[in-house]
Amino acid sequence: MDKNPKVFISHASDDKERFVKKFALKLRNKGVDAWLDRWEIKPGDSLVDKIFEDGIGECSAFIIILSKNSVNKKWVKEELSSAVVSRIEKSTKIIPVKIDDNINIPTSINHLYRVNITNLDHYENDFEDIYNTIYNVNQKPPLGKPSKHIFHEYEVPGFNQLDSLILKATGDVVLKKNRSYIQGSEVISELSNYEISKESITESLEILESQGIIMIQKNAGELESYPITMNPNGFLKYAEIFVENMNQIHKAILSCIINDDIPKSDHIAIEIGCKSVIVTSILQHYHNFGYINAPTFINGNVEVFEIKSVGKRYFKEILS
């Protein structure tokens, strides 16, 4: 857009003193090079050359003043026809400005949004709309910054983005602390970089609990003081998506109990070099399914005493 865009004002001479001259002056005072025949055409000039070549041909916007005087004027119709061609050929803006009621709008521009001026002496808001259109000023308010969790690519099947984020945050804390029981305050701290209210976190945790992912021990205090335990199947759901090389880790744990006869979870964790909470969660998961007999001791360790026949067959299929 030029610093001083050139704008042609098509109008009936009857409207010049009534509205057009003051309107054109307002535009020029705001830096718009408004083209008005009174200022541009000198004695002896060719009307056709001045209007259609110097005026319409060079303008970046064409304003047509629609009034009871102009809609049937031959010259206005000719100017409009030329402007329509220019709009098609070089994207000249056509801005209809209506200053009278009960008039027939020309068919060629009836589909265009028009400015309706009802008070010819006071139309600041309408003038601002016209001015902004000439200068391509976007009047939309700027977009605010969405909550950060909206942009995370991960999503757990069966959960929406927020619940998936809370599941990940809970699992991340369990993995960092290397224990399945954590505090609500630790989950809140993990989510400190996200714009999520405690109410929303609590709601998502309750949804995870209803799905058997975690257990929440609510007390009379706030979320920060809630003890939260991640169930073995819940941790595995998290780990399958968010723990790198989880499939290989899973196989390595099964190999330890099937092929290497290493029954204790803490020994397995050292053998394969992973967090003990991953080992205990997998062993507890298979114990709950009846594939192994592996009780959990007070210190949190799990020891495999027996691998059931159904477990042996299933584990061999995984390892094959």
**CATH classification of the domain holding 187:** 1.10.10.10
% pLDDT > 70, the chain: 89
Do 123 and 173 lie in one domain? The reply is no
Q: Give the CATH number for residue 44.
A: 3.40.50.10140
Is 117 inside any structural domain? yes
Q: What is the tens place of the pLDDT at every residue in 250-272?
A: 999 999 999 999 999 999 999 99
Distance, in Å, from the CA atom of 65 to the CA atom of 14, rounded to the nearest integer, reads 11
Check residue 46 and give its pLDDT. 58
For the cut 60, the answer to whether the pLDDT of residue 89 exceeds it is no
Task: Provide the number of structural domains found in the chain.
Answer: 3
For the cut 60, the answer to whether the pLDDT of residue 13 exceeds it is yes
Do 118 and 159 lie in one domain? The reply is no
Is 141 inside any structural domain? no
Is 143 inside any structural domain? no
Check residue 154 and give its pLDDT. 63
**Other residues' Cβ atoms within 10 Å of the Cβ of residue 27:** 23
% pLDDT > 90, the chain: 56
Q: What's CA 301's distance to the chain center, in Å?
A: 45
User: 261: which residues sit within 8 A by CB, 6+ positions away?
Assistant: none
Is 139 inside any structural domain? no
Is 92 inside any structural domain? yes
- The pLDDT confidence band at residue 90, using thresholds 50, 70 and 90, is low
Do 233 and 249 lie in one domain? The reply is no
Do 99 and 12 lie in one domain? The reply is yes
Do 130 and 28 lie in one domain? The reply is yes
Do 153 and 129 lie in one domain? The reply is no
Q: What is the tens place of the pLDDT at every residue in 189-232?
A: 999 888 888 999 999 999 999 999 999 998 878 888 999 999 99
Is 191 inside any structural domain? yes
**Which of 222, 238, 254 is the C-terminal boundary of a domain?**
238
Do 25 and 89 lie in one domain? The reply is yes
Do 128 and 156 lie in one domain? The reply is no
Q: What is the mean pLDDT of the segment spanning 143-150? A: 61
Structure tokens at 293: 């007999």
Do 203 and 282 lie in one domain? The reply is no
Distance, in Å, from the CA atom of 111 to the CA atom of 241, rounded to the nearest integer, reads 53
**Which of 209, 238, 267 is the C-terminal boundary of a domain?**
238
Is 11 inside any structural domain? yes
**Which of 79, 106, 134 is the C-terminal boundary of a domain?**
134
Least confident of 50-59, 148-157, 254-263: 148-157
For the cut 70, the answer to whether the pLDDT of residue 50 exceeds it is no
Do 164 and 221 lie in one domain? The reply is yes
Do 166 and 81 lie in one domain? The reply is no
Is 124 inside any structural domain? yes
Distance, in Å, from the CA atom of 127 to the CA atom of 274, rounded to the nearest integer, reads 70
* Domain span holding position 20: 6-134
Higher per-residue pLDDT: 151 or 114:
114
Longest pairwise C-alpha distance within the chain: 112
Structure tokens at 162: 């927020």
For the cut 80, the answer to whether the pLDDT of residue 103 exceeds it is yes
Do 184 and 297 lie in one domain? The reply is no
